[in-house]
């Protein structure tokens, strides 16, 4: 008996029910996908997929094909089992061609993203055929492709490539040394004077979490630290994936829909910095994820001021600061929302004060215990940041004035789209924080050869155009009195953006070194910038005004081009070694 005997309505309900179950638990699903990926790809060769990994990719592809053909494309196939099996056979044959083609090429990691593209294309076509192509499904496809691109990136990026202050597993110093401490003794903080050891001044949540994960793998039977060290990146990839989901939720909170939602989500899904941080072994990605979680829960609290929502904010902010002290950057905007809620709900002030107390009881100990401990034990100042000596070559304080650093945009600085370091055989050290922001947002501090020139230059300038559009959108939304966005929420987003951006420039000027000018210190401005753009596009979406339609179409084209250039660039980087990559800054 043919197992496809369900009625059209019952099959539709079956698939929609399956999707709804996954959609209700996106973070759990992301973790399971990450953990399964870790098991499948743990023992690949140097930037190559093993036969074992290719086999499992193919099995996953077959399972997805079965679900798509028999549960999604029912209207197109009209319950014709012969047609269904024929299409399934063609799809599996295509999968086999991909497997055998990739098995014979060097650096075949591209197979991961290639399979994801094929699956997504089949899924979308099937949904079109049954006239069920919704924004919800397309958003899931974008997040899935974002996950696949992150997985591809970490598979060709080792824990010693495109990193910051990582140093070496098994040794003292750097983020990997900090992680090694928890590998050796999970529940013991570093016993040395942390001020004397590079990166040990950071709060320990990220490093402890990685140590816990690695010890779990050791419990499963993986005894050698070096052999499972690459698994560190699966955690940071998970954090980056969660950011995509949180940003989708934030977009939906503001009632964005259609192309404004999908394209804005795509910017975050395929943004180079989100890819780079997904493979970084330091604490940036966990802190960013928790900060974005605090933003999301603050929006929920603004809508419904409950103890549960304020405690979620407290945990997110406290844990963000327990990952990296810069997690406090979301606090001013959150405090503004608390004050607005207090002013508006005069009849509930006693209850709201109790909520504030609950927030402080949770957030303050989580966020400040490390700083207090280090102050009394090591005499480490609050807000301490390890500083290089002013005698090193990339010190900028004696070469340029503050005015020169902020206002010098001479053309020679754009002859290369990569961050400039003399030790990379560059003519100068990057010194303008704004230019460095654009360069590091696309390529971090790595440099690449001529093979990437067209895509790298294109990606850089498209990103500049996108940033300008986002800035204009922010200004427009703030002055537009007819906007459907609540004025309070406008100020909330503005505070997120300005505090993050101002903190970046102050940090760059207070610590005048080339390495301090990096997009990772102001990622919240990226999320808010894209969100401002999405809100303006949403307000323009159904307009009859020709200028607004032109603005929408132009912005759509810029975003699509940005995503294409980013994907192609970071697939090609898997084949192109970074020039002078892996230099440890000491």
Mean pLDDT, 10 residues at a time, the chain of 586 residues: 36 60 83 88 72 75 72 56 63 69 68 85 77 87 96 92 91 93 91 89 96 92 84 96 97 94 97 96 96 97 95 97 95 96 91 95 96 93 86 88 94 94 89 96 91 94 97 93 87 96 95 93 96 94 84 95 96 74 41
Helix (H, G, I), strand (E, B) or coil at 579: strand
Six-digit token string for 494: 């503005």
Question: What is the greatest pairwise CA distance in the chain?
Answer: 82
CB 138 within 8 A of CB 248: no
What gap in Å lies between CA 136 and CA 251, rounded to an integer? Answer: 12
Long-range Cβ contact pairs of 481-484 (< 8 A, separation 24 or more): 483/535, 483/539, 484/255, 484/539
**Is the sign of the CA dihedral 201, 326, 459, 101 positive or negative?**
positive
CA distance 150 to 571: 10
Q: How many CA atoms lie within 13 A of 503 on its CB side?
A: 22
Rounded distance between C-alpha atoms, residue 407 and residue 301, angstroms: 40
Is the Cβ–Cβ distance between 222 and 192 less than 8 Å?
no
Q: What is the pLDDT of residue 450?
A: 84
Per-residue tokens: 169: 């597993």
Q: Cβ-count burial of 93 within 10 angstroms (0-12 exposed, 13-18 middle, 19+ buried)? A: exposed
pLDDT at 72: 61
CA–CA distance, 24 with 140 (Å, rounded to integer): 12
Cβ–Cβ under 8 Å, residues 250 and 531: yes
Torsion from C-alpha of 24, 26, 32, 34, nearest 10 degrees: 170
- The stretches of 480-545 forming alpha helices (DSSP H) are 487-510, 523-540
Q: For residues 250 and 295, is the Cβ–Cβ distance under 8 A?
A: yes
Residue with tokens 């100068």: 428
447 DSSP assignment: B
Half-sphere exposure of 6 (CA within 13 A, CB side): 14
Both structure tokens of 273? 């910095």
Per-residue HEC secondary structure of 115-131 comes to: HHHHHHHHHHHHHHHCC
- Using CA of residue 529, residue 530, residue 535, residue 536, what is the dihedral sign? positive
Span between the terminal Cα atoms of the chain, in Å = 70
Residues 95 and 54 sit within 8 Å (Cβ to Cβ): no
């Amino acid at each position: 008996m043919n197992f496809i005997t369900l009625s059209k309505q019952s099959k539709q309900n079956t698939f929609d029910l399956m999707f709804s179950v996954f959609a209700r638990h996106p973070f759990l699903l992301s973790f399971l996908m990450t953990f399964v990926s870790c098991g499948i790809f743990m023992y690949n060769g140097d930037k190559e997929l093993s036969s074992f990994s290719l086999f499992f990719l193919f099995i996953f592809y077959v399972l997805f094909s079965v679900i798509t053909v028999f549960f999604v494309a029912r209207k197109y196939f009209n319950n014709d089992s012969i047609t269904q099996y024929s299409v399934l056979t063609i799809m599996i044959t295509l999968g086999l061609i991909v497997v055998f083609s990739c098995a014979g090429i060097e650096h075949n990691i591209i197979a991961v993203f290639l399979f994801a593209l094929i699956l997504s294309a089949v899924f979308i076509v099937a949904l079109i055929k049954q006239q069920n192509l919704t924004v919800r499904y397309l958003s899931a496809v974008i997040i899935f492709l974002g996950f696949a691109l992150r997985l591809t990136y970490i598979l060709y990026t080792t824990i010693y490539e495109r990193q910051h202050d990582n140093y070496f597993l098994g040794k003292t110093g750097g983020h990997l040394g900090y992680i090694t401490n928890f590998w050796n003794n999970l529940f013991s903080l570093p016993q040395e004077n942390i001020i004397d050891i590079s990166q040990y001044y950071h709060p320990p949540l990220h490093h402890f979490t990685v140590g816990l994960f690695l010890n779990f793998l050791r419990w499963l039977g993986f005894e050698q630290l070096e052999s499972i060290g690459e698994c560190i990146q699966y955690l940071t990839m998970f954090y980056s994936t969660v950011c995509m989901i949180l940003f989708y939720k934030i977009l939906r909170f503001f009632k964005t829909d259609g192309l404004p939602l999908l394209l804005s989500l795509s910017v975050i899904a395929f943004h180079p910095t989100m890819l780079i941080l997904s493979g970084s072994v330091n604490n940036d990605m966990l802190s960013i994820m928790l900060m974005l979680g605090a933003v999301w829960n603050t929006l929920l609290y603004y809508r419904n001021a409950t103890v549960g929502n304020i405690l979620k904010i407290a945990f997110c902010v406290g844990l963000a600061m327990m990952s990296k002290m810069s997690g406090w950057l979301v606090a001013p905007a959150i405090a503004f929302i608390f004050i607005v809620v207090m002013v508006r709900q005069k009849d509930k002030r006693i209850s709201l004060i109790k909520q504030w107390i609950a927030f402080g009881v949770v957030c303050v100990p989580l966020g400040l215990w490390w700083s207090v401990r280090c102050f009394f034990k090591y005499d480490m100042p609050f807000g301490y940041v390890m500083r290089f000596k002013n005698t090193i070559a990339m010190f900028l304080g004696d070469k340029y004035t503050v005015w020169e650093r902020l206002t010098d945009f001479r053309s020679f600085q754009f002859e290369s789209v990569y961050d400039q370091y003399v030790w990379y055989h560059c003519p100068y050290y990057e010194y303008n924080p704004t230019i460095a922001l654009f360069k590091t947002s696309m390529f971090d501090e790595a440099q690449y050869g001529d093979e990437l020139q067209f895509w790298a230059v294109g990606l850089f300038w498209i990103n500049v155009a996108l940033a300008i559009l986002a800035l204009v959108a922010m200004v427009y939304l703030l002055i537009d009195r007819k906007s459907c966005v609540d004025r309070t929420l406008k100020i909330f987003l503005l505070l997120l953006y300005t505090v993050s951006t101002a903190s970046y420039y102050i940090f760059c000027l207070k610590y005048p070194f080339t390495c301090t000018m990096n997009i990772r210190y102001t990622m919240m401005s990226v999320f808010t910038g894209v969100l401002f753009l999405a809100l303006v596009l949403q307000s323009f979406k159904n307009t009859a005004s020709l200028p607004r339609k032109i603005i929408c179409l132009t912005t759509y084209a810029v975003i699509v081009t940005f995503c294409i250039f980013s994907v192609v660039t970071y697939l090609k980087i898997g084949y192109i070694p970074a020039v002078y990559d892996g230099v440890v800054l000491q």
